[in-house]
Amino acid sequence: MAPFSTPSIHGVLPVEAGLFDHSNLHQTGSFLRRLVMTKRNLSPPGHLETTSSQSGQRSEPSGLSQLPLSPNISKCCGSDMVPKRDSLGCQCVYPIKIELLLVNISSNPDWNMFLEQFAYQLGLRVSQIELINFFMVSISGLNISMDITPHKGLSFVASEASAINSSLVMHTVHLNPSLLGNYQLLNFTWFRPLEMSEAPASAASPAAAPSNIVSTPEAVATLRKSTRPGLVLFTGVGAFLLMAAIIATVVIRSRTSRRKKCNKYFDAAAKQMTPETFPASSGSLRLPASTRFLTYDELKTATNNFESSCILGEGGFGRVFKGRLGDGTPVAIKRLSNCGQQGDKEFLVEVEMLSRLHHRNLVKLVGYYTNRDSENLLCYELVPNGSLESWLHGPLGLNCPLDWDTRMKIALDAARGLAYLHEDSQPSVIHRDFKASNILLENNFHAKVSDFGLAKHAPEGRTNYLSTRVMGTFGYVAPEYAMTGHLLVKSDVYSYGVVLLELLTGRKPVDMSRSCGQENLVTWARPILTDRDRLDELADHRLKGNYPREDFSRVCTIAAACVAPEASQRPTMGEVVQSLKMVQRAAATELHRQCSIVVHPRQQAFESDASSSMFSSGPYSTFDNNEFINGTLVYSEDLQEGR
């Protein structure tokens, strides 16, 4: 038996099982990316709060008691085989084992309808599917395991297994909303028999000839008959080698043709993306002169031939190198991997986006390059002080943790960058992958938003966009986008709220090392955010209590509004910017007031307006109206770019 598995989050595989890892689907566009070998132990998905179906600690929905689990599997079959359903006797086959996470299941689901829809859309019969086990995940989630047996033959062929896996990964199986809200493939294991290897020694070893050979016509005929198997074997081996040579030739020519097509695509892209020929129609702006089409030699020289010591970081997209151009400009060069439609699309999107988006809180694109070796290269300004993630959760912040004022500076800068994308660019841009690792810091800790490969234009005149594939990073993705595919500008606001909670608490969005119930940052923090008396529980211990309590409370209110479950309850990023500026001004006013009491006790530093508040309306307008001063004080930097 040779199992091939494609786990999506936390797969459950037999020991010594091989798996195809597709954890970065959105970067390749393929559901089979690369072959790796691993060993894993049986465990529920680690990132979610689970409740075993046998624990008895939580009451199950009534419908779960009717889950049509199959009886105990007979032991008449060998390892990794199961008896075929409705077969006479003990007919054993190799199954496909699937583990699914069902989200927002009905309290009394119709499992027969579920099996019928599931089987029909996968091109299967209901009799081919057997439900093996289940356990509860959180309140409305269910983890189920099932076996799918082949209708004909001993096992599924590769094309059938690939089609089933692709349908589940790409969510082309649509189930009745009355049954469940969504589903996710956690594990996919395809079992098949080992291929029988040739045994040439036994095949090529005819029976020993007698020691005494009689030269008679009958003996000659017998000898000729005994040599025929050897001749057949020799002919078969020769035919096999000839066939292998033909196949190798076809494969080489096919790859060469594919490389030529890829090069033609890059030639066309390079021609289209040069400043002289970039189209000004179709809603795209002409590339500014500041965005250069760089040569490969320039980038190669800048990074000392892409030396490993110049690597700043690495991700699913490729590697980022630190370099210096010929004119002395320090740069960061992203070397994208793979020639394919999805990779090319992300490259062109990022070039087009950054070539027309200019803001002091967005990373600037210096230049770009495409070549005939199926490579895409992007050259950015160098932001030298690392990412916010490395300062909050990595080595940079161990010896010198960020203080309160620095965290608020970063929060305001990141909010300004997102507000510019949502409200000041035309058309509006949804980032889709806003997170701490995509917030880069300068030496003075001013923040810049980076990585626009997944960004999308918000359609004009529409409040949402239905995405066929959910993209982003787990822990930052808004619930409405994860569950339904509806992408809103408020989806970015949720991601910003998660980052703001990271700044307040110093915790990761998802940390499985935490105790039960505290693994997910938003789930843990949300009830505390609504209780003023418990807000100190949220504070990062590395702050050592050195933060203004009132300001901390106000920022907690902003974070609570941003991570509201319903998108309609979240503020816009423009409102978030104004609220954070009001927090800063309130702190400045308090400091000035204290100084005024000493110098001029009767002089008032700023005028206040009792009508101002954190948010004009909504469930999170929790502060008294007189807590915030009027926004009459406008910083000069805000006059420059409207923020």
Catalytic choice (80, 344, 433, 451) = 433
φ, ψ for residue 391 (rounded to 5)? -85, -30
Cα separation, 604 vs 106, whole angstroms: 60
Sign of the dihedral through C-alpha 506, 47, 561, 488: positive
Closest CA to 319 of 331, 305, 337: 337
φ, ψ for residue 313 (rounded to 5)? -175, 170
Cα separation, 449 vs 436, whole angstroms: 9
Angstrom CA distances, 598 to 49, 300, 585, 592, stand at: 55, 62, 20, 10
Cα separation, 412 vs 397, whole angstroms: 20
Q: DSSP 3-state assignment of 144?
A: strand
> Which residues have C-beta within 8 Å of that of residue 358, sequence separation ≥ 6?
364
Cα separation, 542 vs 397, whole angstroms: 10
Cα separation, 23 vs 26, whole angstroms: 9
Closest CA to 296 of 376, 382, 366, 350: 376
Cα separation, 626 vs 611, whole angstroms: 7
Q: How far is CA 556 from the centre of its chain?
A: 27
Whether the Cβ atoms of residue 266 and residue 370 lie closer than 8 Å to each other:
yes
Q: Where are the alpha helices (DSSP H) in 314-432?
A: 341-356, 388-392, 396-399, 404-419
Cα separation, 608 vs 627, whole angstroms: 9
> Which residues have C-beta within 8 Å of that of residue 214, sequence separation ≥ 6?
none
Cα separation, 154 vs 196, whole angstroms: 14
**Structure-token pair, residue 471:** 């993209």
433 among known catalytic residues: yes
3-state helix vs strand vs coil in the chain, percent to 5: 40, 15, 45
Terminal Cα distance for the chain, rounded:
63
**Structure-token pair, residue 342:** 């999805």
Cα separation, 93 vs 604, whole angstroms: 85
Cα separation, 171 vs 484, whole angstroms: 11
Whether the Cβ atoms of residue 425 and residue 414 lie closer than 8 Å to each other:
no
Is 334 marked within a binding site?
Answer: yes
Q: How far is CA 586 from the centre of its chain?
A: 39
Closest CA to 631 of 602, 617, 611, 604: 611
- The one-letter amino acid code at 466 reads L
Angstrom CA distances, 590 to 66, 500, 532, 554, 618, stand at: 63, 23, 21, 15, 27
Q: How far is CA 99 from the centre of its chain?
A: 19
> Which residues have C-beta within 8 Å of that of residue 603, sequence separation ≥ 6?
596
Angle at CA 583, nearest 5°, toward 582 and 586? 80
Whether the Cβ atoms of residue 6 and residue 18 lie closer than 8 Å to each other:
no
Annotated binding site: which residue ranges? 334
Question: Which amino acids are annotated catalytic?
Answer: 433
Annotated binding site for ATP: which residue ranges? 334
